[in-house]
């Protein structure tokens, strides 16, 4: 088992490396998968009670309920469940790189959400969904792959990035970097929010007529 401090340090180094050179993801993907695969059984006990406060604040700021939503890096599914509870008509897919996380999420799925929430194993840098498949693509403590996000979000849809410990989160991207990268890909209407110890950013993708 990777020591917690070492795992957090690796996550921060991997995040900074991939932000600087996205092609480096192919080098850190396997160790990242192993790290989170091993943590799956204890993941829920590691997370703080407020770990989704900023994420939920961003969901609450979305003015139009999404019909189809994606939770990227879903872990054991809490983000996907939060979306489904916030938007009772939405169908939600949670994806995670670690198969053990996905298995835990499936086991945790409440009976009341089984018809609307599903989970798949997937690599956030290249996901098996058609272009413009989702009205909302949300991330909690995730390394961003901006081109893939822009491909998946439908015109007029929303993206959320949330970091449960703010700048102290091992996987963290400053809001100015998020704004710059998203603005270059036709996102607008940026809103920065806080909740608990966390921070989040919400943005809307321009409609085809406005782009």
Residues 177-196 pLDDT 10s: 999 999 999 999 999 999 99
Whether 210 has a pLDDT exceeding 70, the answer reads: no
Higher pLDDT, 109 or 42: 109
pTM: 0.93
156: left (phi over 0), alpha (psi -120 to 50) or beta: left
Average pLDDT taken over every residue of the chain? 93
Instruction: Give the pLDDT confidence score for residue 1 in this predicted structure.
Output: 35
Tell me what the mean pLDDT of segment 42-71 comes to: 91
Which residues does 52 contact at the CB level (< 8 Å), separation at least 6?
A: 78, 79, 82, 140, 162, 164
Instruction: Give the pLDDT confidence score for residue 3 in this predicted structure.
Output: 45
Look at the chain and count its residues.
211
Question: What is the sign, positive or negative, of the torsion defined by CA atoms of 83, 139, 33, 129?
Answer: positive
Is 153 within 8 Å of 137 (Cβ atoms)? yes
Instruction: Give the pLDDT confidence score for residue 208 in this predicted structure.
Output: 67
pLDDT tens profile 124-157: 999 999 999 999 999 999 999 999 999 999 999 9
CA distance 53 to 23: 32
Tell me what the mean pLDDT of segment 37-49 comes to: 80
Measure CA 85 to chain center: 17
Higher pLDDT, 41 or 121: 121
Tell me the backbone φ, ψ of residue 123, rounded to 5 degrees.
Answer: -95, 120
Tell me what the mean pLDDT of segment 58-82 comes to: 97
Q: What would the two tokens of residue 138 be? A: 């949300």
Bridge partners of 201, per DSSP, are 161, 192
Tell me the backbone φ, ψ of residue 195, rounded to 5 degrees.
Answer: -170, 130
157: left (phi over 0), alpha (psi -120 to 50) or beta: beta
CA distance 9 to 3: 10
CATH architecture of 4-205: 3-Layer(aba) Sandwich (3.40)
Instruction: Tell me the domain boundaries of the chain.
Output: 4-205
Pairing of strands 91-96, 198-205: unpaired
Higher pLDDT, 104 or 5: 104
Instruction: Give the pLDDT confidence score for residue 19 in this predicted structure.
Output: 94
């Amino acid at each position: 088992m990777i020591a917690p401090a070492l795992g957090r340090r690796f996550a921060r180094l991997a995040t900074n490396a991939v932000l600087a050179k996205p092609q480096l993801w192919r080098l850190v993907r396997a160790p990242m998968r192993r790290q989170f695969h091993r943590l799956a059984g204890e993941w829920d006990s590691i997370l703080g009670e407020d770990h989704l406060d900023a994420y939920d604040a961003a969901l609450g700021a979305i003015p139009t309920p999404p019909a189809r939503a994606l939770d990227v890096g879903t872990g054991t599914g809490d983000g996907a469940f939060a979306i489904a509870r916030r938007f009772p008509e939405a169908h939600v897919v949670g994806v995670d790189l670690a198969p053990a996380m996905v298995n835990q999420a499936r086991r945790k799925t409440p009976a009341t959400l089984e018809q609307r929430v599903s989970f798949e194993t997937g690599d956030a840098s290249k996901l098996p969904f058609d272009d413009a498949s989702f009205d909302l693509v949300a991330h909690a403590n995730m390394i961003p792959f901006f081109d893939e996000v822009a491909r998946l979000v439908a015109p007029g849809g929303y993206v959320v990035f949330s970091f449960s410990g703010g700048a102290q989160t091992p996987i963290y991207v400053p809001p100015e970097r998020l704004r710059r990268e998203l603005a270059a890909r036709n996102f607008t209407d940026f809103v920065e929010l806080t909740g608990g110890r966390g921070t989040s950013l919400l943005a809307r993708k321009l409609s085809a007529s406005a782009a």
